[in-house]
Amino acid sequence: MRDASDVHLPIVFEDEVLLAVDKPAGLIVHADGTGAPTLTDLVEDHLGACGHTNARGQAVQRLDAPTTGLVLFSLDKATQPLLDAQVAGHTMRKRYLAVVAGRTAWESRVVDAPMGRDRHDSRRMRVCRPGQGKPAQTRVRRLAAAGGRTLLVVELGSGRRHQIRVHLASLGFPIVGDVLYGGARSKEGLLLHAYAEELDHPVSGERLRLHTVWPARLGSWPGAERLLGS
């Protein structure tokens, strides 16, 4: 079992009411009953070490264990509903980077396909027929292609479990390392990273634009960071 004390927690943004961290791979956000260390544990340790003994970190969103990148924590119960409202109203804009095998024939796609649980495998989700499942929309844009792989930037119009993984697999481009949905095994793990997020600060109202450092596990993509701003 992984020891949380051995995991470094990169801080992207921090003030009195909000904390943004860059989640490492293999770490769950919330306790799952197994006793495995969680990202929330690391946040609590960080707050204690900084003397914020009265603050309690509450994750505003979550990421799958193998997915890396930005996770926001509310540190203030009074302003947390303002963050939750942005999530529900889709005014909190989050962008992911995904690496898939092959080259897409298209530059951009909008996947509008409902999703539900796979009745044959409880670990998996699946695309459903129209009228079944829950609505799910994913916007995909190709940033670069090289070495038999394509780098995509992805935004969600909804927040279903495994949504990016399922929708990209439905296009015939499962994420590298996503064995559960047909992707090739990778020593780097699942090549999906929550890179950037925009939100209104719950106190000042300022529009925050946060991003992590470039994730080395995705490989080198010259010019990709510049293209992300376009």
* Catalytic residue list contains 64: yes
Residue 108: closest CA among 145, 154, 148, 147:
154
Helix (H) or strand (E) holding 42: helix 39-49
| Identified catalytic residue from 22, 41, 64, 178 | 64
Tokens of 188: 């780097």
- Which residues, 6 or more positions from 5, have their beta carbon under 8 angstroms from its beta carbon? 45
DSSP character at residue 73:
E
Quote the CA–CA distance of 110 and 48 in Å, as a whole number: 43
Contact call for residues 152 and 60 (beta carbons, < 8 A): no
Rounded Cα distance, 21 and 11, in Å: 5
Q: How far is CA 39 from the centre of its chain?
A: 13
Among residues 7, 84, 103, the alpha carbon closest in space to that of 46 is found at 7
CA–CA separation, 92 vs 158, rounded Å? 11
99 and 191 Cβ atoms separated by less than 8 Å: yes
Look at residue 5 and give its three-state secondary structure: helix
Residues marked as catalytic: 64
